[in-house]
Structure 1
Amino acid sequence: MRKTFKWLSVSLLLLLLVSVSYGQSSYKIAKLKYGGGGDWYANKTALPNLIRFCNTQLKMNIYPEEDIVEVGSPDLYSYPFVYLTGHGNVVFTDAEARNLRNYLMAGGFLHIDDNYGLDKFIRREMKKVFPELSFVELPYNHPIYNLKFKFPNGLPKVHEHEGNSPQGFGLIYQGRLVCFYSYECDLGNGWEDQSVYNNPEEVRLQALRMGANLLDYATTAF
């Protein structure tokens, strides 16, 4: 059962007007631009490829191009799903942290994808967003691993960093998963054009399938 996007209630009229400009597409997703000097712009081909896969495999009707949205922008509420990646420092101002918190509380969804080196920074900054919450590792029976595509052993491994197993962490607010954090996995690298990292096609397929589950979860009631 679709949840008719809680985020629509934030600015229903605006989103209805915007949706007309998308033509036959129902909504957009965005990459999150943050401060602190980290490479928020990494994985340039990842989201377009994931969108194409989701539209083909799940008929999700997403606009084919990604948007870029800043953490503190009111435009954040226009997207049911935002993606944050990078290798280094992340800094949210107090105003940005409040905006991101309100977005997630209103029904938005954040996927944080550690591109190696992000961990200590993003954990610190997400504490500004939800001081009362901590990341918890999601069990393999969580719905996010058991939607259209099944992942009985959790996240697929795309790239080796320090030889650790991939882990999927979540922030859960009032019973709802509002943020999924893929660690030691590099999902976004698996979404990139094959020529970027020369990943085997099976690895890319598994990464795209997991990404499709994330998008499906972000737009489905649980």
Structure 2
Amino acid sequence: MDRADFLRLMLGGAAMAALPRMAAAGPEYDFRFTRLMYESGDWDVDARMPSNVITALIDYTSLRVDPKEHVIALSDPKMRLAPFCYLAGHKLVQFSPAERRNFEAYLRSGGFIFVDDCNHDIDGLFAKSFEAQMASIFGPKALGKIPNSHPLYSSFFRFSEPPTTSFELNGWGDDIVHDYLKGISFDGRLGLLYSNKDYGCEWDYDWRNKRFLAEDNTKFAVNIVMYALNA
């Protein structure tokens, strides 16, 4: 029995949509963390966040995880092979034609992108410009609130709502503790996950310091990745 047959047996047909991207992670890995570089704004934020997420996946799951972060230009068609993509920043998001084309094609073909607003607000430049881009590409009503009953919140660990970040509690940004995440679904599957909660900064610390936390705050990252691979 080869690996594809094993995954069909263990995961079922719904998860098989993720196989092309899982295979693209490399024959020795099931998952790689891919950060999207875009021409506008500041894409290279939260430098320690990927290693922390990678460590959590190694600690809690049986996935074969690539230990390195991979950075690829959104304008590069090769980004469509990634099993999971991360895009974040504080500033303007204004996609070039090639970036827009790949962003749309990747999501419509079953890809998954986690987008995080590092300003953790709804009125900042990143939020306004990114949401305008989504309305332009997918329509004004495509981006909507994700109910707390969504499978995302039970894909590995169980959450009753999106975890709050310390940045929200400190009153930075728009002074709102957001009790929701947003997203865009394609054929019933969440493809774009969008956060104004600034998870990237919340998880931007040396993974070795996690032992000082009362509760591991990267557990929700595990849920995001496991949903992306298996939904």
- TM-score w.r.t. the length of structure 2 is 0.80
Q: Which residue of structure 2 aligns with residue 215 of structure 1?
A: 225
Q: 1:1-222 residue pairs with structure 2 within 5 A?
A: 1=11, 3-6=15-18, 8=20, 15=24, 19-20=26-27, 24-36=28-40, 38-116=41-119, 117=124, 118-131=126-139, 133-160=141-168, 161=172, 162-166=174-178, 167-183=180-196, 185-194=197-206, 201-202=213-214, 205-206=216-217, 208-221=218-231
8 Å CA contact 2:134–2:140 kept in 1: the answer is no
8 Å CA contact 1:171–1:178 kept in 2: the answer is yes
1:157 deviation in Å? 2.2
How many pairs were matched up?
206
1:133 deviation in Å? 4.7
- TM-score w.r.t. the length of structure 1 is 0.83
* Structure 1: unaligned runs, 5 residues or longer: none
| Cα-Cα RMSD | 2.4
1:83 deviation in Å? 0.3
8 Å CA contact 2:31–2:63 kept in 1: the answer is no
Q: Distance in 1 between matches of 2:136 and 2:62?
A: 36
1:132 deviation in Å? 6.1
* Structure 2: unaligned runs, 5 residues or longer: 1-10
* Partner SS for 1:113: strand
1:50 deviation in Å? 0.2
1:40 deviation in Å? 0.4
Q: Percent identity?
A: 26
